């Protein structure tokens, strides 16, 4: 008698599972259609996410590496190679790994607000480039 009750209980649970699987598949299909309908509008948000966040010069205060690099570039008055910037920073008591410096400045270059890249690993301040009317800038326009 116990074996029959157990068998009927297992069959009932299997029927419930089959019903739940069917409901799950239906819900997944509905979700897929909702996501596909929303896809065109989410394409613009993807483009926004890929675009670099614009950083202000005020943000330099929160990035000691970028702030010290900007001071070194301002003092030099021209674009400098990353190793030269690191040496100047070291003379001023701030030691920074070359990879960290290049990475930090590259992020700032990507945001197009404070630094620009003259050549590989050569960085300058946008404000100094605009004042001096760099020949490269004139060639771009």
**Cα–Cα distance measured from residue 125 to residue 109, given in angstroms and rounded to the nearest whole number:** 10
- The model scores a pTM over 0.75: no
Sequence-distant (6+) residues with CB within 8 A of 104 are 63, 65, 66, 69
* Tens place of pLDDT per residue across the chain (141 aa): 567 788 899 999 999 999 999 999 998 888 888 877 766 554 555 555 555 555 555 566 677 888 899 999 999 999 999 999 999 999 988 888 999 999 989 988 888 878 899 999 999 998 887 666 555 544 443
């Amino acid at each position: 008698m116990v074996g029959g009750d157990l068998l009927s209980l297992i069959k009932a649970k299997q029927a419930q599972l089959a019903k739940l699987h069917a409901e799950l598949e239906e819900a997944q299909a509905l979700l897929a259609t909702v996501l596909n309908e929303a896809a065109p509008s989410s394409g613009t948000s993807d483009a926004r996410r890929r675009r670099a966040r614009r950083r202000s010069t005020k943000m330099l205060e929160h990035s000691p590496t970028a702030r010290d690099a900007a001071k070194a570039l301002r003092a030099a008055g021209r674009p400098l190679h990353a190793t030269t910037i690191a040496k100047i920073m070291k003379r001023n008591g701030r030691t920074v790994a070359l990879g960290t410096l290049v990475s930090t400045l590259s992020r700032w270059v990507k945001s197009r607000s404070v630094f620009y890249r003259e050549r590989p690993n050569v960085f300058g301040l946008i404000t100094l480039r605009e004042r001096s009317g760099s020949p490269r800038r004139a060639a771009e326009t």
